[in-house]
Amino acid sequence: MRAAVYFALLAQVLILHPASLCTQTTALSISDLHADSQQGNRVGPEHSSARERGPDALRRRAEAAFQRATSYEQAAGAYLQAGDIYATLSRYEKARASYSEALRGQDPEKRCKALSRIARTYAATGPFSLVDRYSKEALDSCRNLSELAQAEALEARGEALLELAGERAQSEYFFRQARELFVRGRDKNGEARTLLALAHIGLFSGDRQAQGLESAEQALQLWSSTGNPYGIARMRSYLGTFAITEGQFETAQCNYRLSRPVFQVLGNKDVKASVLNSLGYVNRETGDWQ
């Protein structure tokens, strides 16, 4: 597709409800964020005081979940929640430790989800051998379980193959299968995550930007409908990176400025630093240092 055409599509994606989205993104408190970025479950009440905001508050809520647990199976659910919190903060070793505790339980659904999420943490940090191992274990253990459990396993396998050169077609297949199950299970956040992955594949595959932009728009719409600013910020950081590769620096600047406050509120230092570095580069290119 010619550049003029797909950048026209890109402009439509990037101005998706701009006023409301800017307000939503810049006025965030931690109680507005989904601590369970894997499933989109809120942590804590909708209205919390200032002292209950921030990453430390998220961890306190996870600890409270442990204390409320009256059986190990309930504790396994709390360990999954804690792992999701740490994964959102890019604290992957702690996330894996929590997920590993959840594996000690006997509930097949929780064990399946723990394996899938361990695989996804290794997709973020490496090594590939462990992504491959855990994603295969997840597929095996999740057979005949709920649609959502199977969807997570398919998603994890898709992420594993995405890291392996020459396997993007297979990766895309798993993400599409996962998306179908998330749709059937009415998990909008799970569906949006698979759309983010499909957007990444399309945007950076050379000749499939139109499909990538369509997936990006759908992900933004889903995360907007569920009130998930973390998901929106992740998608916008991807769009910012894509815009840089195409020399569209003002578009990149817009997206990075929208995503930065979310990562600042979360205290996710790795992602925040990456966004700030990219924003600094864009500001130099545009001469805009505001």
Of 152, 156, 62, nearest in space to 109 by CA? 152
Instruction: Look at residue 142 and tell me if it is in a domain.
Output: no
CATH of the domain at 28: 1.25.40
Q: For residues 251 and 242, give the distance between their C-alpha atoms in angstroms, rounded to a whole number.
A: 10
Dihedral sign of CA atoms 267, 269, 270, 272 in order: positive
CB atoms within 10 A of CB 28: 18
Angle of helix 188-203 versus helix 168-184 axis, rounded to 10: 160
CA atoms of 233 and 24, how far apart (whole Å): 11
Indicate whether this model's pTM tops 0.95. Answer: no
Give the integer Cα–Cα distance in Å for 118 and 133.
10
Residue 154, in any domain of the structure = no
Domain extent, residue 191, equals 3-106+187-286
Return the pLDDT at 76. Answer: 83
Number of domains in the chain: 1
Please report whether residue 48 resides in a domain.
Answer: yes
56-72 per-position pLDDT tens digit: 665 666 666 666 666 66
Residue written as token pair 């050169």: 165
AA letter at 81: Q
Q: Do 112 and 148 form a contact (C-beta atoms < 8 A)? A: no
Q: Residue 41 falls within a domain, yes or no?
A: yes
As a whole number of angstroms, the distance between CA 118 and CA 135 comes to: 8
Q: How confident is the model at residue 33, as a pLDDT?
A: 35
Alpha helix (H) ranges present in the chain? 3-14, 18-26, 55-68, 72-88, 92-102, 108-125, 128-141, 147-162, 168-184, 188-203, 209-226, 229-245, 249-266, 269-286
CA distance 64 to 154: 31
Three-state secondary-structure class, residue 36:
strand
Q: Smallest Cα–Cα separation from 264: which of 103, 114, 55, 44?
A: 55
Q: Examine residue 141 and state whether it is found in any structural domain, yes or no.
A: no
Q: How many CB atoms lie within 10 A of CB 165?
A: 5
- Determine, yes or no, domain membership for 145: no
Query: What is the predicted pLDDT for the residue at 233?
Result: 93
Residues of the chain with pLDDT under 50: 1-53
CA distance 52 to 38: 22
